[in-house]
Amino acid sequence: MTIALLSGLRHLSGRRALLAALGLGALAALALPPLHAVPVLLLAVPGLLALLDGAGSWKRAGMLGFAWGMGHHIVGLYWISHALLTDPWRWGWLVPVAVPGLALPLALYVAAVAVVAWRAPPGWRRWLALAGAWTLAEMLRGVLFTGFSWNLMGSVWAFHPLPLQGAALVGTFGLSLATVLLAGLPALERRAVAAGAGVLLLAAGAGAWRLNQPLPAAPGVNLLLVQGNIQQEAKWREDQRWPIFRRYLDLTRDGVARAPAGVPLAVIWPETASPFLLPNDPDARRYAAESLPPGGVLLAGSVRADWGADGRPERVFNSLSAVGPGGTLLGFYDKTHLVPFGEYMPLRGLIPIRVVQGGLDFSSGPGAVAMTVPGLPAFSPLICYEVIFPGAVVPASRPAWLLNITNDAWFGWSAGPFQHLAAARLRAVEEGLPLARAAQTGVSAVIDAHGAVAARIGLGETGSVLAPLPGALPPTPYSRFGAWIAGVLAAAALAGAMPLRANGSTQRIIFWNSRKS
């Protein structure tokens, strides 16, 4: 059946081929979190290869890749429109435009991948070229135009720690390379499929062995994640400031009452959880500190402002504040990697609308740090989607854990929060570090260095969860070498797929040697 279907796809032309590519890309998105329907890739990827086999030119191949990418990213990122529905009277008209508008530049990467793959000979060489080009394109997507490493192909395995263990060696980009290679095998002969099944079994065995290795001892610190479950529509209303603040204080007190005495405690609130500017407001910090146990520390998301001489804010930052006994400000971290259109308006003056709330764009912080707070092991703070970028979550001075605070209320009840959580799990495995994640509406979780979820609060729930901070593993190969391993493997796949053609350089070399003899 698969052979007949692929043969039919090779003979499609015109609009029918483009519609088939669009549908195959949409089908592939079902493999992403939260569905993780990974087997659909065994049709979606070979289907793209079959369509490329029938493409008569590189332009046609690019169009087919673009259609596949549009289907994939529209379905994978449909939840973006929910952010606009938090203020439907102002931004509802953008809903039909926003998701295709974001999918379009992402689909251009897939178009480029398709052109590269088409230039390789059909068969196993085109299969290699597709996987190598796909992986290199994902790497470029993470850095060009501020980067957007959301929904990398390797994230399809984030349904369980077992298939994630390879990320400690090759990172998520390496998992993407392996995923495209394995998914494309039905386009080859049956022996290739059998070999792929054997590789999967070996990888599963290696993953099981790694999971069975005990984690180092925990550092003796408890974490209290507080999830207020505040909907985005109510978040910045003036009449809701005290009720929201009081909810976080009450949830904190309830959680602290369950915490054992004598063990250091870090209370963690999500991104911008405090409606008051904690770094600038001593009274708010003092109220917050009253809910802490002796020696406890609050790590809370809050806006921070630099004030001008006229009493107006000159710059605002999306920050994490550390509050100690008596409301002492122990330190803060300013978000570095800002979200275009969400936290600042790119091309200001050229775009006639302003989606960012407030009159000021957020300013960027100085970069990744290992934050030190009395009583806690050093940690790397990551605000919102800073956690989605492989290799960019740990500063030069390696911390003991990662802390991700986020406001996923923008995403509503959709795939978005689960995709964000999957990215966080992958960062923990890549770096061999535990990760604590506090989300405004969920999913909040404590994740160990193997990527296993040790404690969580579900999406849409209100409450707190208490868990010990897990121990950190020694630096992984990925934490030492970053994306170089996956990059070299992808480049090798691409090089192996592009031999010298008989009617090109090789033919000229043979002719030259025959003249000399």
Cβ atoms of 304 and 293 within 8 Å: the answer is no
Q: Is 233 among the catalytic positions?
A: no
Q: Which helix (H) or strand (E) holds 210?
A: helix 190-211
Q: What is the spatial distance between Cα 259 and Cα 469, in angstroms, rounded to a whole number?
A: 13
Q: What are phi and psi of 381, to 5 degrees?
A: -80, 135
Q: Is 59 among the catalytic positions?
A: no
Residue tagged active-site, from 138, 335, 386, 430: 335
CA 290 from centre of chain: 35
Residue tagged active-site, from 235, 343, 384, 431: 384
Q: What is the spatial distance between Cα 517 and Cα 187, in angstroms, rounded to a whole number?
A: 43
DSSP state of 330: E
* DSSP-derived 3-state class of residue 76: helix
Residue tagged active-site, from 271, 343, 386, 430: 271
* DSSP-derived 3-state class of residue 303: strand
The two structure tokens encoding residue 148:
């957007």
Q: Is 271 among the catalytic positions?
A: yes
Candidates 34, 311, 312; CA nearest to 158 is: 34
Beta-bridge partners for 379: 371, 401
Cβ atoms of 317 and 334 within 8 Å: the answer is yes
Cβ atoms of 142 and 496 within 8 Å: the answer is no
E-strand spans in 422-494?
435-439, 444-447, 453-457, 463-468
- For residue 463, the one-letter residue type is G
The two structure tokens encoding residue 94:
């953008």
Catalytically annotated residues: 271, 335, 384
